[in-house]
Amino acid sequence: MTDLPLRLGLTMWSHNQWQQSFYGSGTKPAERLEKYASVFHTVEGNTTFYATPNLITVRNWYAASHDNFRFTFKLPKAITHQQMLKGCQAQLKEFMHVMAPLHERIGQWTIQLPAAFTPADLPTLQKFCALFPPNFPLGIEVRHLGYFAKNEDEKRFNHWLIEAGIDRIIMDSRPVFAAEPNNEVIIDAQQKKPRVPVHAISTANHPMIRFIGHPELDANLSFFKPWLTKLPEWINQGKQPYLMIHTPDNALAPELALQLYKALADKVALSPLALFPAIDGQSQISMF
């Protein structure tokens, strides 16, 4: 797993509805991360967006993962959303100190910015990113439409990311917004997920795609088709993309991830996935 051409992951590692289909019925909640990391290569660390864990929890995450696994933790919303990256150096230092046991297993620290963070705030972002050591693995997700306008503001933003070696996180929410809003799960997802244009640009070596899937698994293949060209292109350039798969309630996210990974494996050489632990417990048998 050391030289993975692409890292596949989900938005979480613990989901009650995965008990029978993914973990296996006898798996305890504390064992879920280890089971998850036996199949997937990375995970979105949404938990840190809402609250900073304690040091014991962080050490437990380290013990449950392995050296070739990568977390992509989000910075706390207190820093990114409430303080809008201003006057938060002490908070950032405290957060990074707590997360220190996992630093070597971080694929990317995600700076997810609210829609209120406009292109006029770019100097604030640049000043904030200067707080990190050089070559620190950062990814930035913007949601203000000014960053997608294909004008001087977006060019300025992209050029700075390239110069700084920072990845621009790409949100592809087309599938979920194509779904009929005919149940609470889809309505909730469409209310919460950003609807922004898909700009398939790689500004550093680990472009991240956040693919927000359609609830009908087969309906996702047509939306994923452009990525069957773009992702192999980046891989052939020597980049290592991160592909993060969501579904409206994430109940079928493991199955969708497997389906899309198989489709991609027909286009470019990928490392085989292990079986889901629930399937006979044979975690080393190839999924394809």
Give the tens place of pLDDT for each residue, 184-193: 988 888 888 8
What six digits make up the tokens of 67?
């050296």
Place of tokens 């980049």: 239
> Would you say the pTM of this structure is higher than 0.85?
yes
Cβ atoms of 204 and 162 within 8 Å: the answer is yes
CB atoms within 10 A of CB 249: 16
Mean pLDDT (whole number) for 269-282: 84
What six digits make up the tokens of 71?
């977390």
Mean pLDDT (whole number) for 154-171: 97
What six digits make up the tokens of 288?
């394809």
Ranges of each domain in the chain: 7-265
CATH number, domain 7-265: 3.20.20.410
> What is the pLDDT, as a whole number, of residue 283?
42
> What is the pLDDT, as a whole number, of residue 159?
98
DSSP class of 144: S
> What is the pLDDT, as a whole number, of residue 225?
97
Banded pLDDT at 231 (limits 50, 70, 90): very high
Mean pLDDT (whole number) for 141-161: 97
Cβ atoms of 39 and 276 within 8 Å: the answer is yes
Banded pLDDT at 2 (limits 50, 70, 90): low
> What is the pLDDT, as a whole number, of residue 169?
98
Banded pLDDT at 256 (limits 50, 70, 90): very high
Greater confidence, 283 or 181? Answer: 181
DSSP class of 107: S
Give the tens place of pLDDT for each residue, 29-80: 999 999 999 999 999 988 999 999 999 999 999 999 999 999 999 999 999 9
In a 3-state reduction of DSSP, which class is residue 72?
Answer: strand
